[in-house]
Amino acid sequence: MKRYVGSKAICIVFATCSIAYSQGGVPGLDAGTVKDSTYTNSFFAMQLRIPDGWQVQDNEATRALLERGKTIVAGDDKNLSAILDASAQKSLPLLTVFKHPPGSPVDFNPSFMCIVERIQGLPGIKKGSDYLFHVRKALSSAKLQPTFEKDIYDAPVGGLELGILETKLVIGKTTVRQKYYTTILKGYALSFISSYSSNEELQTQNEIIESIKFR
């Protein structure tokens, strides 16, 4: 059903972002807080603005998305399913927001998320674009494979240089586009992922990205 397109897209994001070699957590890392439509994470000294009216997902809803994402991505591939199971225990979604409450009768539900993954012991991952190389490889192995219309590139966000990966995924009659923004901080790959299906939705997502500040 069309109303589930947004949820399916974000499920795929959760699963594939947790496949790129996570290594566990460290003391002091937490999911951050939301107050007055502002998300703050003290560990990464980072803030961003959530659009008015958007729905913040709680931990239980996020875990449900992770489980659905594993099934969608892995399909009948038991090896990939086992990798996703292990990775899900070692990555941490920090923030997940939808424009509409999940399950709303809309053709597509735009979403934005922030997730971190430990990269200790992987000296080859020096910047966000290095990490996104592995994300792209994981996406290419998924049961629902997106297309990539351009190479991974770098751009400034919040005063830092982030790697950016753009994807396109056709689900039924809906074309879902996603942009992954990643930087490396404190031994973690910190990623922001926007999901949208129109230029108007992209404009709102760009406003979220432009609101990101690192102190």
Per-domain boundaries in the chain: 2-214
Asked if pLDDT for residue 189 goes beyond 70, the answer is yes
Q: Identify the bridge partners of residue 160 per DSSP, sorted by sequence position.
A: 157
pLDDT, average across residues 178-195: 94
63, 67, 114, 191 from 60: Cα distances, Å: 5, 11, 16, 21
pTM for the model: 0.84
First to last CA, the chain: 42
pLDDT, average across residues 183-195: 94
Q: Which tokens go with 41?
A: 């994470």
Per-residue pLDDT tens digits for 143-167: 777 899 899 999 999 999 999 999 9
Question: What is the dotted CATH code of the domain comprising 2-214?
Answer: 3.40.1000.10
